[in-house]
Amino acid sequence: MTTLLLVLSCALCVHSLPLGDDRNSRRYKDLTAWPEKIHHYALTKRERLPHAQNTLKEDVEIKRWQHHPAVPKNGSDVWNRPRCGVPDYPSKQGSFYNVVQRGGLHGGRYRGKRFASVKGWNKTSFTYKILRTPGQMNLEKVREVFQDAVQVWSHVTPLTFTEVPGGHSDITIDFVRYEHGDKLPFDGPGGILAHAFFPRTHRQGEVHFDYDEYWTLGNSMGTDLLQVAVHELGHTLGLQHSRAPGSVMSPFYTYSYPPQLSKDDERSIQALYGVKVIQEKEPELDTNDIMIAPNACNTDFDAVSMIRGELFFFKSGYVWRIRDGRLQDGYPALASRHWQGIPYNIDAAYEDTSGNIWFFKGQNYWVYDAEKQISGPDSVQRLGLPVSDIQAALMWGEDKTQKVYFFKGENYWRFNPQENWVDMSYARTMVDWRGIPNDIDAAFQDRYGFAHFLKGRQYWKFDPVGVRALEGYPRYIGMDFFNCAAYKYQ
């Protein structure tokens, strides 16, 4: 029985390869209006089977587990379910799709993880354009479908999508037939419905739909375009096929309107781009309310950073600005006066080598160019950081060798700005920073290369040559930076 199943499986794999017969050749030659080179990836139909997301090999295994002794005939739902043309998730023992993939469809290999692209795009705002439409729908209807499709993903993430009429776009959507220039030919009605390319590949953002399908919306008379569009957009954002029941990223099509993300879909997309953050409005102050800034002489600080050569201290929504050792007039001031939209009580901040300022709060971060917000909120998981609520961030090193260090409790992680990714696979302990305590509140590097670590009302100065805290520390922050009287600390 096992031998028979393997023979049938091999036969199906061979049959699924494109054949150079006269019929297909004539079909393609008649389509003179369809250019040869287009750019995108793929989905198929399935009936309502509870675990129908598996590859051909796994379908056989399911049948065996369910004690079905007979091999399904050709034409049964198991073998002929319409599906996505993107290769499936990796199988531990390999599969036909893994072989095809290793041939170069997605950069040569898959990671053995839930997603095809662990990092996704290095952005959260996308543009998209529609090149052509199917015969069953006009452009306005197709536009409405894709407006709804992108909202499915943006509803649970900070992702935003904007349609553009022409020019460059991050995502391109097209309806094509048979061989169309990407060596992933469609097969006419049924079978492969669509395909899309993953991020960080040479065709990233391209999505193809098979023009020959009977595309519908909100009914089971044909193939629901909205459901397939949500699935293929998931691929363009970096998600691989899912085995989870009810997942929109299942490789096989089952009519379900409107499409809804499963918990597995939500967790997967949020692992790449973070959780959607709904900004809560700061409570409006009554005209009789008086906001009192913390006293720098007897407070700790949320974050400290050197920005444009000046030192900024952050606390409870306020900022102090020190230039050449002197507190500037008009400070403390509300931090939102400089960086509109940053959260109240930030956890950490630092300025990178290009002059952008990064702010961290909870599980998210924001990036500003001077006082203009250029990204965020984005999840710290996009940086490879496995924890949230970091306590301090330190840009440390010289010139191109500079790295960013994130601190929390007794641990720290090193971040590579060039790769935009944490380059340490595990946390290190504060023992490496000799003489510096755990649970620091803030950190910064001064213009002379010394690192400063703040905890409570005190700070430690760290020698980059001796790689340890200098003697005579800790000292009081208020005395050294704000000229507070010594008697306040006796």
d(CA 193, CA 223): 8
Q: What percent of the chain has pLDDT over 70?
A: 72
User: Across the strands, what pairs with 351?
Assistant: 357
Residue 278 DSSP SS3: coil
User: What are the tens digits of pLDDT across the range 241-253?
Assistant: 998 888 999 988 8
Domain boundaries, the chain: 2-273, 296-489
148 is in an annotated binding site: no
Q: Is 135 assigned to a binding site?
A: no
Task: Note the pLDDT tens digit of each residue in 11-21.
Answer: 333 333 333 33
pLDDT value, residue 25: 35
Burial of 463 per CB tally in 10 Å (0-12, 13-18, 19+): middle
Task: Kindly compute the dihedral angle of the four CA atoms of residues 477, 478, 483, 487, in this order, to the nearest 10 degrees.
Answer: -120
Selected from 2.120.10.30, 1.20.1580.10, 3.30.70.20, 2.110.10.10, the CATH number assigned to the domain covering 296-489 reads 2.110.10.10
Count, residues in the chain: 490
Cα–Cα distance for residue pair 347/358, rounded to 1 Å: 11
Res. 457 pLDDT band, cuts 50 70 90? very high
Number of H helices, E strands in the chain: 9, 28
The per-residue pLDDT of the chain, averaged, comes to: 77
Q: Which residues have a catalytic role annotated?
A: 232
For residue 218, what pLDDT is reported?
87
Block residue for tokens 């306005």: 140
279-303 per-residue burial string, b: 16 or more CB within 10 A, e: under 16: eeeeeeeeeeeeeebbebbebebbb
Between these two residues, 240 and 48, which has the higher pLDDT value? 240
Q: Is 208 annotated as a binding residue?
A: yes
Mean pLDDT, rounded, for 20-31: 35
With cut-offs at 50, 70 and 90, classify the pLDDT of residue 80: low
**CATH number of the 2-273 domain:** 3.40.390.10
The answer to whether the annotation marks 282 as part of a ligand binding site is no
Is the pLDDT at 89 greater than 90? The verdict is no
Is 249 known as a binding-site position?
A: yes
Rounded-to-integer distance, Cα 364 and Cα 32, Å = 50
Is residue 50 pLDDT above 90, yes or no? no
Please give the torsion angle defined by the CA atoms of residues 293, 294, 300 and 306, in that order, rounded to the nearest 10 degrees: 30
Q: What are 217's two structure tokens? A: 């919306």
Tell me if 22 is assigned to a ligand binding site: no
Q: Most confidently modeled of 37-46, 61-70, 457-466?
A: 457-466
Q: What is the Cβ-side half-sphere exposure of residue 53, based on CA atoms within 13 angstroms?
A: 19
Identical topology for domains 2-273 and 296-489? no
In the numeric block, which tokens belong to residue 18? Answer: 């494109």
Per-residue confidence (pLDDT) for residue 120, from 0 to 100 = 87
Q: Please check if 168 is assigned to a binding site.
A: no
Instruction: Report whether pLDDT(32) > 70.
Output: no
CA–CA separation, 361 and 376 (whole Å)? 11
Distance CA 134, CA 189 (A): 13
Q: Which residues contact 260 (CB under 8 A, 6 or more apart)?
A: 152, 248
Tell me what pLDDT residue 383 has: 87
Per-residue burial over 159-171, b = 16 or more CB atoms within 10 Å of its CB, e = otherwise: bebeeeeeeebbb
CB-side neighbour CA atoms (13 Å) of 158: 24
453 φ, ψ (degrees, to nearest 5): -120, 130
List the structure tokens of 352: 């990178």
Q: Is the pLDDT of residue 360 over 70?
A: yes
